[in-house]
Amino acid sequence: MLLKRITLVVADIDRSLTVYRDILGFSLHAPVSESSSDSYSYPVFRLPAEAKIRFATLDSRTQERALGLTEVKGISLPTTSAPLMSAAVIRVPNLGETMQKIRALGLQTTESKTVRSTDGKFSFVEQAFVDYDGHLIVLYQVLN
């Protein structure tokens, strides 16, 4: 089995790129593109025909097209509320520095927590934030 990518529906792809590209370090696989009216995204995300969508895939340092962003315009997107129903978990090289940049955007964050792996072989520190569109993102850094 291979997890190809997670795709997030967003209201503003350029704003989302400030988080995923500029802070988390993903890179655009190809330029942002407008989706055709017969895009598979319409039935998959249950979008009405009047919605206009743009799409981008982002590469991580280790995987091509690891993350997708689907911008939806022309309709109101729902807001999220507690409890949050899913999370993307992403390893970063420097959690403190990354979270400082996330907080500077005014995004909601949690406190950090240090955890020892269940097998006791390593420790990691994790911290979460909610992006502009209500997606829960958990970041972690493996400690030496």
pLDDT above 70 coverage of the chain, percent: 100
**Is pTM beyond 0.85 here?**
yes
Work out the pLDDT band at 81, boundaries 50, 70, 90. Answer: confident
Work out the pLDDT band at 144, boundaries 50, 70, 90. Answer: confident
Q: Residue 34 carries which side chain, given as an amino acid letter?
A: E
Work out the pLDDT band at 120, boundaries 50, 70, 90. Answer: confident
Q: Return the H-helix or E-strand segment holding 113.
A: strand 113-116
Burial of residue 55 (CB within 10 Å: 0-12, 13-18, 19+) is middle
Work out the pLDDT band at 3, boundaries 50, 70, 90. Answer: confident
In this prediction, residues 133-144 reach a mean pLDDT of 95
Question: pLDDT for 13-47, tens place per residue?
Answer: 999 999 999 999 999 999 999 999 999 999 999 99
Q: Return the H-helix or E-strand segment holding 130.
A: strand 123-130
Q: What DSSP designation does 78 have?
A: P
